[in-house]
Amino acid sequence: MSLWPGRSGAGNDVSPLNKGRENTVWGVSLMAGYLGFDGFTSTFQDKLFKGYNMEIHNQIFYTTLCSCVLSFTGLTLQGQLLLAVDFVSRHRDCLVDIALLSTVATASQFFISYTNRTFGALTFAAIMTTRQVIVFGSLYAKNLLNNNKRTEKQPPPPELPQYEKPEGS
């Protein structure tokens, strides 16, 4: 079994009975990890703000520094750092996307830290949970509506040919 779902052997089985089952455990594990770390982060930031009277700028700087070190270490240990640098050097137009993503992430980190410092971790968790319910609920509804439209318009798939075994095998 592989930790990366795209490299597991489950993708070779095209049986309709096994469709989607190989990703369930992986997806639930990722969601549980995300929720655990997300809850820990806001609570830990709240304790740092209250216990050490830390400024928002300092916390964002050290959070970003830790993220940078972890990303650099992960890319280096996996042997992907030079490939990533090579990709960016060959596709210079992605630098605009990288800069835009970094700017938006920094701005959102300011809003997150401000909300955490001013209103506390519980209020921040309530805001984020409400946002996630709205986003995931709308995506689920959109997917459900698209599937209903697709099943009404499309004819059923053709039957697969049945091959008979030769006698004597």
Q: Which pTM value belongs to this model?
A: 0.58
- Greatest Cα pair distance in the chain: 83
**Could you give the CA distance from residue 10 to residue 27 in angstroms, rounded to a whole number?**
15
pLDDT in tens, 80-132: 999 999 999 999 999 999 999 999 988 988 998 898 888 988 888 888 889 88
Torsion, Cα 93 98 101 105, to 10 degrees, reads -160
DSSP 8-state code for residue 5: G
**Could you give the CA distance from residue 82 to residue 161 in angstroms, rounded to a whole number?**
48
**Could you give the CA distance from residue 169 to residue 164 in angstroms, rounded to a whole number?**
11
The residue extents of the domains of the chain are 23-120
Q: What pLDDT is recorded for position 117?
A: 87
